[in-house]
Amino acid sequence: MNKEIIKFTDASIGYGKTAILSGINLSIIENDFIGIVGPNGAGKTTLLKTLLGNIKLISGKISRESLRFGYVPQRDTVQPLLPYTVFDVVMMGRYSLSGPFKGINAEDKRIVEESLSYIGMSDLKDKNYNSLSGGQRQRTLIARALAVGPSVLILDEPTNGMDTPSHYSLLDLISRLHDEKNLTIFLVSHLLTDVANIVKKVILLDQNYFQFGPIEEILSEENLKKTYSTDFHVSQSDGEYIITPKHMKKL
Amino acid sequence: METVHQLIELFPYAIAGSILAGIICSFLGIFIVSQRVVFLGAVLTQVAIAGVAFSFLHVIHIETFIASLLGTTIKEDSLLHNFEPAFYSLLFALSTVIVFSQTHRQKTLTQDGILGIIFVVAIAVRIMFIQKSPIADVSEVESILKGDILFISQTEFFTLAAILVFTVSIFALFQKQLKFVTFDAESASAHGINSKMWLLIFYLVVGTGISLTTRFVGDVFAFAYLIIPASIGILVSKKVKNVFLISVLVGAIVPPISIYIAFKFDFSSGPTAVVTAFVLFLVVYLGKKLKG
């Protein structure tokens, strides 16, 4: 049986003294694959930052195994003016693992090469990061997170603004990472159908509303209506979930 | 050649100092431009000048205070005597960067808005400080405040050399942390790097470099050399290493050439250095456009 690696007990999260979400009870086990969904401003980013330890709990308790996190930000937040190569960007993943005065060693280079190879970007390692397509940039940021050697991978809206082939290819890569590398994955997305079809459990949240559990329990039409204040239609076709707002169904 | 000999004979420290000032500004400028905080550069130059103007009021006589601590007296033109303007310039600039580094926490004002407020207040208080300064001639005070490349002294030259060594050492020693937080502070934090602390260190080093350099070479020169060489470097280079190389080369070569032009055609050295750098920028920009 997989062991528990993160546990929130009666936790309140937010900024300063203002709680966005209260009464969070959450138990994450090794190799969990969790989607985080909710409307804009629901507290998804706050939850992630709390998970990473960048924001302190307002109240309650969080216990964590000594975990190493790999973080993949929304790629639009990373738009460098300097011509960093793909290799440079992925190497940054190694920077947090050595002290200020230590240089980059052969082992760091090997791990960066390995991460690039795994996500199929070895051929582009000398390319300027700015010259890449959206999908390639996102893969580079995933390789950087892998270079950390993480046990938990956190992806924030990884498929935002991508064309359809890149979108599905990236979701496929994320699934592979979970299966082959045994990573515990948190995937933040506003695309409910994607989340339902890729993850095993889901956190559904809005301000002061929090649900956590298996997909089939949490992503019900009733829960979605409570969260988004809109009627949703949840159905399955060929074993795949299709979740659409009801007004779209009429169209 | 005769003009060059004359210049070297008359202003050896000005020429060497202009090279150092150009290198310091162009090096820091790469981070300022790539971080998209160009306005911070403008603000720091104005704040530094306000600090120098404040020192003329002698509200707290730092030199006497330090001299009493050291059990010595102040001699005219001693290093200590020149300390007060640099001290206040640095104090004002570092206070500004500490405020700026915290601005990302609040959501009601933009960073640009906060910098804009500091910018106009710095100019306003400078005028007020000058009005209350014991030095009678306002234009004389203004010229002292603004600095002049041609009047870089031996002491100022060595101070600039120390600033350069300090700046480059910090960026060399902590290049991994500074590179990551200036590239993507959010991910650096997520990966266990204390982004807040490293960004504060980054801004403190930038503030120190800009404030002291502005004191010696003037705000126009300092601001221009923060922006123009870095922009040229970014325009023409395809590798980060080359951005640094080209920016620093431009920062080192253009100022002495400008001093020559200013001397030959009887212009002020600071503005000439700015225009010369701008002409170079224009040539590079148009060349790149024509090349497609």
Q: Which amino acid is at B139?
A: S
DSSP state of B189: H
* Within a domain: A83: no
Q: Are B203 and B209 in contact (CB under 8 A)?
A: no
pTM attached to this predicted model: 0.85
Do residue A95 and residue B243 have CB atoms under 8 angstroms apart?
no
The span from the CA of A126 to the CA of A24, in Å, is 45
pLDDT of residue A241: 87
* Within a domain: A230: yes
pLDDT of residue B144: 64
Q: Which amino acid is at B125?
A: V
Distance from the A221 Cα atom to the nearest Cα atom in chain B, whole angstroms: 34
- Angstrom CA distances, B219 to B34, B211, B247, stand at 21, 9, 19
Which tokens sit at B28? Answer: 């820091």
pLDDT of residue B105: 63
Average pLDDT value for residue range B243-257: 97
Q: What is the pLDDT of residues A5-38, one digit of tens each?
A: 999 999 999 887 888 888 899 999 999 999 999 9
* Within a domain: A15: yes
Mean of pLDDT over chain A: 89
Mean of pLDDT over chain B: 87
pLDDT of residue B204: 93
- Angstrom CA distances, A219 to A27, A205, B104, stand at 18, 11, 35
pLDDT-based confidence at residue A106 (cuts at 50, 70, 90): very high
pLDDT of residue B134: 75
pLDDT of residue A155: 94
pLDDT of residue B56: 81
The number of angstroms, rounded, from the C-alpha of A72 to the middle of its chain's C-alpha atoms is 7
pLDDT of residue B138: 65
What structural domains does chain B harbor?
25-228 (1.10.3470.10)
* Within a domain: A143: no
Most confident by average pLDDT, B78-82, B92-96, B150-154: B92-96
Q: Bigger pLDDT: B79 or B85?
A: B85
The span from the CA of A192 to the CA of A209, in Å, is 17
On the question of pLDDT at A58 being above 80, the answer is yes
pLDDT of residue B74: 61
Which residues are CB-contacts of A98 (< 8 A; sequence separation ≥ 6)?
A108, B176
Do residue B187 and residue A89 have CB atoms under 8 angstroms apart?
no
Question: Above pLDDT 70, what percent of chain A?
Answer: 98
pLDDT of residue A77: 79
Helix or strand run (H / E) with residue A25: strand A18-29
Distance from the B35 Cα atom to the nearest Cα atom in chain A, whole angstroms: 8
Q: Are B242 and B133 in contact (CB under 8 A)?
A: no
* Within a domain: A164: no
Q: With 0-12 CB in 10 A as exposed, 13-18 as middle and 19+ as buried, what is A56?
A: exposed
Q: Virtual CA dihedral for A20, B194, A150, A110, nearest 10 degrees?
A: 150
Q: Which of A92, A125, A131 to mutate to test the interface with B (most CBs of B within 10 A)?
A: A92
* Within a domain: A126: no
On the question of pLDDT at A236 being above 90, the answer is no
pLDDT of residue B82: 63
* B111 inside 8 A of chain A by CB: no
Q: What is the pLDDT of residues A181-191, one digit of tens each?
A: 989 999 998 88
Average pLDDT value for residue range A192-218: 90
- Angstrom CA distances, B6 to B15, B45, B127, B274, stand at 12, 31, 37, 23
Q: What is the pLDDT of residues A144-153, one digit of tens each?
A: 999 999 999 9
- Number of compact structural domains in chain A: 1
Q: Are B242 and B230 in contact (CB under 8 A)?
A: no
pLDDT of residue B140: 64
Domain range enclosing A41: 1-67+153-159+184-251
Q: Are B123 and B49 in contact (CB under 8 A)?
A: no
pLDDT-based confidence at residue A248 (cuts at 50, 70, 90): low
Q: Which of B78, B72, B73 has its CA nearest to residue B153? A: B78
Average pLDDT value for residue range A194-198: 90
pLDDT of residue A175: 93
Dihedral (CA of A131, A137, A139, A141) sign: positive
DSSP state of B81: G
pLDDT-based confidence at residue B171 (cuts at 50, 70, 90): very high
pLDDT-based confidence at residue B218 (cuts at 50, 70, 90): confident
pLDDT of residue A161: 78
On the question of pLDDT at B85 being above 90, the answer is no
Average pLDDT value for residue range A156-166: 86
pLDDT of residue A245: 86
pLDDT-based confidence at residue B141 (cuts at 50, 70, 90): low
pLDDT of residue B286: 96
- Neighbouring CB atoms inside 10 A of A123's CB total 10
* CATH number where A19 lies: 3.40.50.300
Average pLDDT value for residue range A213-240: 88
pLDDT of residue B276: 97
User: What residues of chain A lie within 8 A of the CB of B190, using their CB?
Assistant: 52, 54, 69, 71, 73, 154
Q: Bigger pLDDT: A195 or B253?
A: B253
DSSP state of A128: B
Average the pLDDT over each of A5-19, B52-66, B165-179, B273-287 and give the range with the smallest value. Answer: B52-66
Question: Above pLDDT 90, what percent of chain B?
Answer: 54
pLDDT of residue B135: 67
The span from the CA of A237 to the CA of A166, in Å, is 23
Average pLDDT value for residue range A240-250: 76
* Within a domain: A32: yes
Percent helix / strand / coil, chain A, rounded to 5 = 40, 30, 30
Which tokens sit at B61? Answer: 């006589």
Do residue A81 and residue B234 have CB atoms under 8 angstroms apart?
yes
On the question of pLDDT at A197 being above 60, the answer is yes
User: What residues of chain B lie within 8 A of the CB of A104, using their CB?
Assistant: 176
pLDDT of residue A98: 80
pLDDT of residue A123: 96
pLDDT of residue A16: 79
On the question of pLDDT at B81 being above 60, the answer is no
Residues 31-60 of B with CB under 8 A from A: 33-34, 36
Q: Name the residue among B30, B34, B192 with its Cβ closest to that of A96.
A: B192
- Kindly give the pairing relationship between strand A209-214 and strand A201-206: antiparallel
- Angstrom CA distances, B35 to A130, B166, B184, B213, stand at 15, 21, 10, 20
